[in-house]
Amino acid sequence: MMGGTGYILAGRFIDGSGVKVRRNILLKIKGGLIIGLQSAADLPGNVSVDDLSHCTVVPALLDCSVSLLQSSSVNGGKGSLASSGGDEVSEQEDIQEDMLARHIRYCSAHGILGLVTNDKHHLLQKYRRKHGQSCGIDIRTAHDGVDADFLRLISSPDIEEEAGGSLQLNHQNLCRILQARGEKKAVVVVNGPQQVAEALEAGCDAIEQGYGMGEANLREMAEKGILWIPSAVRAKNALDASSSGGSICCRFSTRYVAPGEPVPGAEAFWKKVLAEQLAQLSLAHELGVKTAVGTGAGSVGILHGESVVDEIKLFIKAGYSLEEGIRCASKNGAEFFGMEHGQLAVGQRATFLLTRGTAGQLPRKLSYLEGVYVDGLPSRDYRK
């Protein structure tokens, strides 16, 4: 391509808007941007084409809730900074830098090129200075500081935590913070009908988790255009671990790690929680609530990169089409958080994923990417 106009033939094309998959689409690319989308039948004569007719093209994916400084292993891997001794602090920061870079690589390897996190901003800045933007990762953060991209406020503990497990805001303080936020968007982590109703009343822009919030809150969110990040994979992960008492490294490794004692009633509890969340997700789809994929990757058992496909599968189980699930993992989050990656359309960056075979093999094939293109060219950082 090298500065000129290039052509890529996609055997199947999912643009992230939610419309049905299209066949034999020609992408016209110049300067890293898509400048044309047309039928392969309209291919000009005597031009060189990058033939990907054996592949399905999908937009780069996003994870709208991830911690890059937490490990999904059972110990959490948080590694808080030591307070005694400068050498210990420096060593701990080195460990955290390595962990952050490793988790970004995991996400990139699975085509997750947009990340929303509340990790330490200075470590992200150091990563950017060291690695640049070569991998095409777009990161938005809610760190403490005036230059944060958005606010992420915790009004309820994560669904897996005991009550009081996280520092939580009461309704009065939530209202005060949201009234003073200026132009920044605010995501509130909250569960339960009254708590979600209070977050909506306070003026939040998005609800994360929202377990057990009920139909009335969903209807209000649809009316107000409030984004919902349901994080259903949290409940699925807890269900998968319920037979072991949570004493496994992740849900994919039960055969390798001796399980703990099952917690009586845990399996039935998490089955109910997951079923109710999927029922809410189905209702949200019916009501027209805008939804986005956010996994909580970094929580115990929720893997960076891989869990996005798990969440898309849960969206589909709740009644979303494949194309709608891809939209929730790309366009919806990109629009809300102001990311570069999103829908594949004329005027947008030619950054996308390739899966070998038909669209009918998705979303499973998203776990085995054929390739990643960044700005119209194969990514130098992606390795199969």
Return the pLDDT at 132.
62
From CA 82, how far away is CA 46, in angstroms rounded?
A: 64
Most confident listed range (170-174, 203-207, 251-255):
203-207
Instruction: Tell me the pLDDT band of 47, cut-offs 50, 70 and 90.
Output: confident
From CA 160, how far away is CA 236, in angstroms rounded?
A: 11
Tell me: pLDDT of 124 over 70.
Answer: yes
From CA 280, how far away is CA 98, in angstroms rounded?
A: 38
Return the pLDDT at 195.
95
Tell me: pLDDT of 125 over 60.
Answer: yes
Backbone phi, psi, residue 225, to 5°: 70, 30
Q: Do residues 368 and 110 touch, judged by C-beta distance below 8 A?
A: no
Q: Do residues 242 and 267 touch, judged by C-beta distance below 8 A?
A: yes
- Please indicate whether residue 33 or residue 133 has the higher confidence score (pLDDT): 33
Mean pLDDT (whole number) for 165-171: 72
Q: Which residues contact 133 (CB under 8 A, 6 or more apart)?
A: none
Tell me: pLDDT of 81 over 60.
Answer: no
Instruction: Tell me the pLDDT band of 95, cut-offs 50, 70 and 90.
Output: confident
Q: pLDDT tens digits for 303-338?
A: 999 999 999 999 999 999 999 999 999 999 999 999
What average pLDDT is seen over the chain?
Answer: 87
Tokens of 225: 């255009």
Tell me: pLDDT of 131 over 90.
Answer: no
Return the pLDDT at 164.
45
Residue ranges and CATH numbers for the domains of the chain are 5-59+344-378 (2.30.40.10), 61-337 (3.20.20.140)
Mean pLDDT (whole number) for 214-242: 96
Most confident listed range (14-23, 101-110, 119-128):
14-23
Q: Do residues 111 and 381 touch, judged by C-beta distance below 8 A?
A: no
Tell me: pLDDT of 2 over 70.
Answer: no
What would the DSSP string read from start to end of 245-263?
TT-SSBTT-TTTS---PPP
Mean pLDDT (whole number) for 155-159: 86
Instruction: Tell me the pLDDT band of 266, cut-offs 50, 70 and 90.
Output: confident
Return the pLDDT at 89.
63
Q: How far is CA 238 from CA 36, 63, 231, 262, 266, in A?
A: 45, 19, 12, 12, 9
Tokens of 138: 């777009």
From CA 17, how far away is CA 14, in angstroms rounded?
A: 8
Tokens of 366: 């998203």
Surface-to-core class of residue 41, CB atoms within 10 Å of its CB (0-12 exposed, 13-18 middle, 19+ buried): exposed
Q: How far is CA 78 from CA 49, 51, 92, 180, in A?
A: 47, 45, 10, 31
Q: Do residues 285 and 171 touch, judged by C-beta distance below 8 A?
A: no
Instruction: Tell me the pLDDT band of 79, cut-offs 50, 70 and 90.
Output: very low
Tell me: pLDDT of 166 over 80.
Answer: no
Q: pLDDT tens digits for 338-384?
A: 998 899 999 999 999 999 999 999 999 999 999 999 999 999 888 87
From CA 230, how far away is CA 249, in angstroms rounded?
A: 23
Q: How far is CA 262 from CA 212, 243, 244, 269, 354, in A?
A: 25, 5, 5, 13, 41
Mean pLDDT (whole number) for 167-192: 91
Q: What letter does residue 66 receive in the DSSP assignment?
A: B
Cis bond upstream, residue 363 (ω within 30): yes
Could you tell me whether strands 206-209 and 227-229 are parallel, antiparallel, or unpaired per DSSP bridges? Answer: parallel
Tell me: pLDDT of 109 over 50.
Answer: yes
